[in-house]
Amino acid sequence: MTGERSTTVAGRYDALLLDLDGVVYRGARAVPGAADTLDAVRRAGSRVLFLTNNSSRTPDQVADGLRFMGVRASPDEVLTSALATADLLRAEGPAGPGEATGRRRTVFVIGERGIRDALAAAGFDVVDGEPPSADLVVVGWDRSVDYPKLRTATLLVERGARLVATNPDASYPAPDGLWPGAGAILAAVTTATGATPTVVGKPAAPMFRAAVARTGAERPLVVGDRLDTDIAGAAAMGWDSLLVFTGASRPADLLDDVDLPTYAVPDIRSLMDDVPAGTFRPAAPDDAERVALLLDASGLSADGVAGRLGSTFVCDAGGTLLATFALLNEGGHGLLRSLAVREDVRGKGLGILATANAAMEARRRGMARLSLFSETAEGFFQALEFRTIPRGELDPSIRESAHAREECAASAVAMVRDL
């Protein structure tokens, strides 16, 4: 059952909204463990909905593709941006917002079968050729787009048709490289007309609203591989999210200017693991003792914890501190120190999220660079794109800080990362 205390990530949510490419499969192959994990998630009672921004395929085609790779899926577990577009426009009424019913709206489509079928099934009159007018122009991914289609779409928008985009993706990741995506085709129409489109697909909200309408979810979890679409979209909705590293985004990307996920894990299998939420808050006065215990257990100095509590952050799981870090301001330069993760929850993304939270906080305070000293975690920080530099090349305020001169062993390496 769902609930905060569930021992699996999936069990804490009533629906999992899963991105496909980079999460469930890569190219033409399923991600290892994806099929078994999704079966286990369903058995445990969580609803599964696959979300894809690709509007060219129908749900049947998407489900067939998944089954071909060995991943069980039914068409009603698939939400394409085409279906979400049809849902959005249908919800406005057959004749459009604020208009009397009785007339079917006409739609000129740049797109493939997925969006054309979805709009026709939703009761729209899909018009082809070179109609003199239309109520709507819907742009999706279309591998046979040509100048006449772009010209017709542009003329219709100039004449008053409302412009709607199934998704904003600039490119499509093909085996031989990036192909122009729906967003690139859309750009031709917006560049020509200056029109501002209604965008449906991730990271825009209509796709997510369509997902909860279909699942009835009250507490969904967005699972994705892209910070700029899956995770940013979930953050804008105020929902939890889980980032996997089997696709586009890498751990180091979390330190750049982004919305942070609730979980950052190697792959989809973590849905059935007991991974704690990696959310951090500023430490409170009564956290001092527990922070000191956590640092002590991690072999770090707990001296002066109370004095720097105002610069300390904690990941608190219902009263148990799972991770902590401190971000000091040394003459305007950021110094990350005292980063510790409780031993029994190491390797579950909390260290990455702690460092990402430190970077976000440092940027918020106007710091351009994060420095640290490490004795045992040089490899961990290298993976997050920190560079090891001679101490002599540190900012003087960091080099001369009490932490550097008195508390750090001489063997600790100095590392920096620009923000």
Interacting residues with Mg ion between 222 and 251 (CB under 5 A): 225
Query: Shortest distance, CB of residue 173 to Mg ion, whole angstroms?
Result: 9
262 DSSP assignment: S
Q: Cβ(118)–Cβ(82) under 8 Å?
A: yes
Rg (the chain; Cα; Å): 25
Whether 135 is catalytic: no
CB atoms within 10 A of CB 148: 10
In the complex, least distance from residue 141 CB atom to Mg ion, rounded to whole angstroms: 14
Please identify, using beta-carbon distances, which residue of 54 and 312 lies nearer to Mg ion: 54
Specify the amino acid at residue 300.
L
Of the residues 19, 87, 230, 316, only one is catalytic, namely 19
Question: From the list 9, 12, 19, 358, which residue makes contact with Mg ion (rule: CB under 5 A)?
Answer: 19
Whether residue 273 lies in the annotated active site:
no
Compute CA 20 distance to the chain's CA centroid, rounded to the nearest angstrom: 13
Closer by beta carbon to Mg ion, 22 or else 206: 22
DSSP assignment of 162-212, as one string?
Answer: EEEES---SEEEETTEEEE-HHHHHHHHHHHH-PPPEE-STTSHHHHHHHH
Candidate list 14, 21, 87, 316; residue touching Mg ion; CB under 5 A: 21
Nearer to Mg ion, 11 or 22 (CB): 22
14 binds Mg ion (CB under 5 A): no
Among 22, 168, 278, 349, the residue binding Mg ion under the rule CB under 5 A is: 22
Distance CA 155, CA 157 (A): 5
The residue (of 27 and 148) whose beta carbon lies closer to Mg ion is: 27
Q: Nearest to Mg ion by Cβ — which residue?
A: 22
> Which of 167, 94, 367 is closest to 257 using CA atoms?
367
Nearer to Mg ion, 125 or 228 (CB): 228
Number of residues that bind Mg ion (CB under 5 A): 4
Catalytic residue among 14, 21, 117, 225: 21
- In degrees, rounded to 5, the angle at the alpha carbon of residue 22 between the alpha carbons of residues 21 and 23 is 90
Which ranges constitute the DSSP H helices of 122-161?
A: 147-158
Stretch that binds Mg ion, among 11-19, 78-86, 201-209, 256-264 (CB under 5 A): 11-19
Positions in the binding site for Mg ion (CB under 5 A): 19, 21-22, 225
Catalytic site positions: 19, 21
